[in-house]
Amino acid sequence: MRKIISLILMLAFLWSCQKNENIKVSGPIFGTSYSIQYHKQSERNYQSEFDNIFYEINASMSTYIESSIISKINANEATQPDTHFINVLRSSRNVHRMTNGAFDPTIGAVVNAWDFGPEGKIANLDSLKIDSLMNSVGIDKIYVSQNLVMKKDSNTFLDFNAIAKGYAVDVIAEFLESQRVENYLVEIGGELRAKGMNIEKEGLWKVGIDQPRFDGEQSVLKAISIKDVSMATSGTYRKFKIDENGNRYAHIIDTKTGYPSKTNLLSISVIASDCMTADAYATAFKAMGIDKVKTFLKHHRELKAFLIFENEKNELETLSINGFPE
What pLDDT shows up at residue 6? 44
Percentages helix, strand, coil for the chain (3-state, rounded to 5) are 35, 25, 40
The end-to-end CA distance of the chain, in Å, is: 52
Structural domain span for residue 142 = 23-321
Burial (CB count within 10 angstroms: exposed 0-12, middle 13-18, buried 19+), residue 165: buried
Per-residue pLDDT tens digits for 170-221: 999 999 999 999 999 999 999 999 999 999 999 999 999 998 876 667 778 8
- For residue 214, being part of any structural domain is answered with yes
CB 84 within 8 A of CB 60: yes
Ranges of residues in the chain whose predicted pLDDT is under 50 = 1-17
Per-residue pLDDT tens digits for 238-277: 656 665 666 656 667 888 888 876 678 889 999 999 999 9
What pLDDT shows up at residue 117? 63
Structural domain tally of the chain?
Answer: 1
- For residue 9, being part of any structural domain is answered with no
What pLDDT shows up at residue 239? 59
What pLDDT shows up at residue 254? 82
Measured over the CA atoms of residue 117, residue 123, residue 128 and residue 133, the dihedral's sign is: negative
pTM of the model: 0.88
Rg, Å, the chain Cα set: 22
- For residue 4, being part of any structural domain is answered with no
**Residue 238 is part of a domain; what is its CATH number?**
3.10.520.10
Q: What is the DSSP letter of 245?
A: T
Q: Measured between alpha carbons, how far is 159 from 161 in angstroms, rounded to an integer?
A: 6
CB 220 within 8 A of CB 267: no
Nearest to 103 by CA among 133, 139, 69, 70: 139
Q: Measured between alpha carbons, how far is 79 from 57 in angstroms, rounded to an integer?
A: 16
- For residue 226, being part of any structural domain is answered with yes
Q: Measured between alpha carbons, how far is 142 from 87 in angstroms, rounded to an integer?
A: 14
- For residue 5, being part of any structural domain is answered with no
What pLDDT shows up at residue 173? 98
CB 151 within 8 A of CB 73: yes
- For residue 193, being part of any structural domain is answered with yes
- For residue 3, being part of any structural domain is answered with no
- For residue 306, being part of any structural domain is answered with yes
Q: Measured between alpha carbons, how far is 210 from 219 in angstroms, rounded to an integer?
A: 6
Half-sphere exposure (Cβ direction) of 75: Cα atoms closer than 13 Å: 12
What pLDDT shows up at residue 160? 96
What pLDDT shows up at residue 19? 66
